[in-house]
Chains A and B, each alone.
Chain A
């Protein structure tokens, strides 16, 4: 008999097989599969159009140039898109709890998060990732920055930290389903709403929204590290170390998410027979 816990490589294989099965299953309904995928890709580009329209009316947004905002937008969107592809499936936990099908996820020798991620994978969510990568690539060439190794590393770190923070928020908000079943809207206001917040310079938001973004900690996804990469000052005078606090914040978010999720599993009460 195999070891109790599968290795990372084995988990990756399981995930790949589940995703392949999911895509094959979705492909049974070809028309909706194609339509959904195309519409999501289109929607992703409409998003950029919104930003461009904004800048045809103003040159700068709270002192930020188009390229700089695009840089914020690109890093945050890429992080968000990756979390959307790999982790957002966790929100289906509410659906499975309600329909009594969550039991099955707990009966496998693999973590339920991995199974959910594979099971509920949707190819169409990848649209955002391509779009965000494109925006970021363009922004990087347009911003007035002397690129060195440290700055490049920081961009990578922003995406990784952002991915972890968005993922953590998704897990935490989805976990509410263990205590109260119908919560998808609450979760979405944090994740999709959070993504929106992270697209723009914090200066344009009112004070309470800014504080919320620091607490929830979306400001660490793109804004604070971007200040450093772009060599800008925070008009609100936040301490300099905040620009490098991302990894620490991400680690904290991941730990909290893990604790909330496992506490949720312990509270899980299944449905009658």
Chain B
């Protein structure tokens, strides 16, 4: 039984555009355009897509903040919009650029307030908080007003705040945005543990694809409101990453090389990038072809990067 199920979900927004001085034209934008997927308990899913693809809109429908225009959403057997307050007990939410902590009060006070809001018994709260303080090393700034915390400290506080009431699902919208490398890896490590050890189902949206590569067993790619990929990260690379890139340093600058089965995608002085299909040509064949035209000084073969693979997916959706 799926913990989260979306069936043909759509969400439209009316946008008013000014035409002339006073007149406005009403235009309907479909932010989410027929999305269906299931998420089982215990999964950790990356939900990615360019700006305005419909990621946040989907998350907001999953939490019950927004009502879908069409289709059905079920989370833990509940209709999120109707049973919003009931569902709130079972989910934790972190919006990377929004703050749920009390700005002027010590971090500890926010946790205590949330304990009351979620009606967690004092003893259980204390035990759980101690666990998080230990895991995320919150001790040194537990009594510091939130406004004085660094971005990384604040994010650790936010994640703790979202988990103190023991939810079974955790939604994170851009949890690593703006964080430095150390804070990022710390947050990722922690999320992996939360998923593995506490069995919390995690859904995260992100622009940082290394989040997805490090964390997620499954990735969903959304573009223009439609799901364009749903599967494992490895499959995504294998299926859509047929193109490899050969980078060659030539002895002297040259015009774009004309080689069969490869396409020059970039030229920088004597260095050229050639994209080729992995099934149609081997790297060795391509190097031989180039060497016949002009001497080669150095070369490397680049495997498809997840960014490129996904960029290809985005483009595809646009053409449809």
Give the distance to chain A from B4, nearest Cβ to Cβ, in Å. 16
Q: In terms of DSSP, what is the predominant structure of the interface of chain A?
A: loop
Bound CA–CA A24/B105 (angstroms): 8
In contact, A107 and B105 (Cβ under 8 angstroms): no
Contact among A10, A18, A24 with B119 in the assembled complex (CB-CB below 8 Å) = A10
Partner of A269, one of B64, B66, B105, B109: B66
List, in ascending order, chain B residues with CB within 8 A of A4's CB. Answer: 83, 85-86, 89
Known: A4-B85, A269-B13. A109 touches B118 (CB 8 A): yes
Q: Which residues of B contact A2 (CB under 8 A)?
A: 89, 118-119
A266 contacts across to B, CB distance below 8 A: 67, 81
Cβ-defined contact, B98 with A100, below 8 A? yes
Complex Cα distance, B56 from A273, in Å, reads: 5
B105 lies within 8 A of A25 (CB): yes
Q: B60 touching A270 by the CB < 8 A rule?
A: yes
Tell me if A107 and B63 are in contact (CB < 8 A): yes
| A146 in contact (CB, < 8 A) | no
Nearest to A10 among chain B residues (CB) is B119
Q: Does B65 contact A (CB under 8 A)?
A: yes
CB distance from B231 to the nearest CB of A (A): 25
Q: Which residues of chain B come closer than 8 Å to A18, judged between CB atoms? A: 113
Asked if A5 and B60 make an inter-chain contact with CB atoms under 8 angstroms apart, the answer reads no
Does B89 contact A1, Cβ atoms closer than 8 Å?
A: yes
* B19 located at the interface, meaning its Cβ lies under 8 Å from any Cβ of chain A in the complex: no
Cα of A266 to Cα of B117 in the assembled complex, Å: 23
Q: Residue of B at shortest CB range from A18?
A: B113
Task: Please pick, from B51, B64, B86, B118, the residue contacting A273 in the complex, using a CB distance under 8 A.
Answer: B51
Q: In the complex, are the beta carbons of B65 and A106 less than 8 A apart?
A: yes
B84 is an interface residue with CB less than 8 A from chain A: yes
Q: How far is the CA of A109 from the CA of B64 in the complex (A)?
A: 12
Residues of chain B lying within 8 A (CB to CB) of residue A14: 116-117
| B contacts with A, residue count (CB < 8 A) | 41
Residues of B within 8 A of A17 (CB): 112-113, 116
A173 to B145, CA, bound (A): 35
Q: Is B100 on the interface with A (CB-CB < 8 A)? A: yes
B52 within 8 A of A: yes
The reply to whether the CB of A6 lies closer than 8 angstroms to some CB of chain B is yes
Shortest C-beta distance, B106 to chain A (Å), equals: 10
B105 touches A106 (CB 8 A): no
Residue A236 interfacial (CB < 8 Å): no
A258-269 contact mask (Cβ, 8 Å, vs B): 1 or 0: 000000001011
Q: Does A111 contact B (CB under 8 A)?
A: yes
User: In chain A, residues 101-140, which have Cβ atoms closer than 8 Å to a Cβ of chain B?
Assistant: 101, 103-104, 106-111, 115
Q: Is A239 an interface residue (CB 8 A)?
A: no
Chain A 1-43 per-residue mask, 1 if CB under 8 angstroms from chain B, else 0: 1101110001001100110010011001000000000000000
Q: How far is the CA of A266 from the CA of B69 in the complex (A)?
A: 11
Contact residues in A for B81 (Cβ distance below 8 Å): 266
B119 contact set on A, CB distance < 8 A:
2, 6, 10, 109
**CB distance B104 to A106 under 8 Å?**
no
The verdict on A25 contacting B104 (CB below 8 Å), with A109-B85, A109-B86 known, is yes
Is the CB of B93 closer than 8 A to any CB of chain A? yes
A-B pairs with beta carbons under 8 Å apart, 21 shown: A1-B89, A4-B86, A5-B85, A13-B116, A14-B117, A17-B112, A17-B116, A18-B113, A25-B105, A28-B104, A28-B145, A107-B65, A107-B93, A108-B85, A108-B88, A108-B118, A109-B89, A266-B81, A270-B56, A272-B56, A273-B55
With A21-B113, A270-B65 already in contact, 8 other A-B pairs whose C-beta atoms are closer than 8 Å: A5-B85, A10-B119, A14-B117, A17-B113, A107-B91, A266-B81, A270-B60, A272-B56
Taking Cβ atoms with an 8 Å cutoff, the residues of A that contact B are: 1-2, 4-6, 10, 13-14, 17-18, 21, 24-25, 28, 100-101, 103-104, 106-111, 115, 266, 268-270, 272-273
- Shortest 10 CB-CB distances between A and B: which pairs? A25-B104, A273-B56, A109-B88, A4-B86, A2-B119, A17-B116, A28-B104, A109-B89, A106-B65, A109-B85
